Structure 1
Amino acid sequence: MNRKSGYGKLVRDRIPQIIREKGAEPVTYVASPDEYRNRLRDKLGEEVTEFLAADDANAPEELADVLEVLHALAAVLGVDAGQLEKIREAKASERGGFANRIVWTGNR
């Protein structure tokens, strides 16, 4: 079934099964590759928003959700988790990470 991308939301693969186990029957469809990519981008925004709103106790779980979406987006782009980590490491080696807590306020 093909639906407009504005209807419904992308959910984790086991959510329909979990809904069934609770006695309801979910209505779902499989997104096309283009819709999937767009919905993953939307999902990333949703998960980042949830992370930003979370307190310190819930932040790790929300951050894990962000990471799950990042891995899915990378896969859509043909990049596996190992390749993504190598790209991250190369950027960190070239430009540094964020561990030193440096805040830039402009140039003189």
Structure 2
Amino acid sequence: MDTYSSHGKLVRDRIPQIIRERGADPVTYVAGPDEYRRRLRDKLGEEVAEFLGADEESAPEELADVMEVVRALAMDLGVDADHLEKIRDGKAGERGGFAKRIVWTGNR
């Protein structure tokens, strides 16, 4: 089983390079499969929280970050972006989307 350090966080692949270009020396390691999945789930929560706290100007950028983590989670589950879209499209065809802004308040 992986050692899941409480320190550090999952970062995008190019972040260590960007840190080096700015003159610092990043300390990193590659997470094992179990830790990676846990850290991706943590990252999803982090990115969703950032989206929920964003103003309208920064919301699209934060939403793109959510999508990047969702894509990584899907790939980790063995589902590529096209298959994920097919699943989403199938559910939308079966149950609809959210475009009509319907709010359910219960049954009579």
Please say if residues 3 and 35 of structure 2, whose CA atoms lie closer than 8 Å, have aligned partners that are also in contact: no
Please say if residues 5 and 39 of structure 1, whose CA atoms lie closer than 8 Å, have aligned partners that are also in contact: no
Q: Shift of residue 3 of structure 1?
A: 4.7
Q: How many residues align structurally?
A: 107
Q: TM-score by structure 2 length?
A: 0.97
Cα offsets for 1:33-91 (capped at 9, x unmatched): 00000000000000000000000000000000000000000000000000000000000
Q: Name the amino acid aligned to 1:45.
A: G
Q: Shift of residue 6 of structure 1?
A: 1.6
Q: Which residue of 1 aligns with 2:11?
A: 11
Which ranges in structure 2 are unaligned for 5 or more consecutive residues? none
Q: Which residue of 1 aligns with 2:22?
A: 22
Q: Name the amino acid aligned to 1:79.
A: V
Q: Which residue of 1 aligns with 2:36?
A: 36
Give matches, 1:55-74, under 5 Å: 55-74=55-74
Paired with 1:4 and 1:67, the residues of 2 have a C-alpha distance of 24
Q: Name the amino acid aligned to 2:103.
A: V
1:50 correspondence with 2:44: no
Which ranges in structure 1 are unaligned for 5 or more consecutive residues? none
Q: TM-score by structure 1 length?
A: 0.97
Q: Shift of residue 4 of structure 1?
A: 2.8
Q: Name the amino acid aligned to 1:11.
A: V
Q: Shift of residue 96 of structure 1?
A: 0.2
Please say if residues 19 and 25 of structure 1, whose CA atoms lie closer than 8 Å, have aligned partners that are also in contact: yes
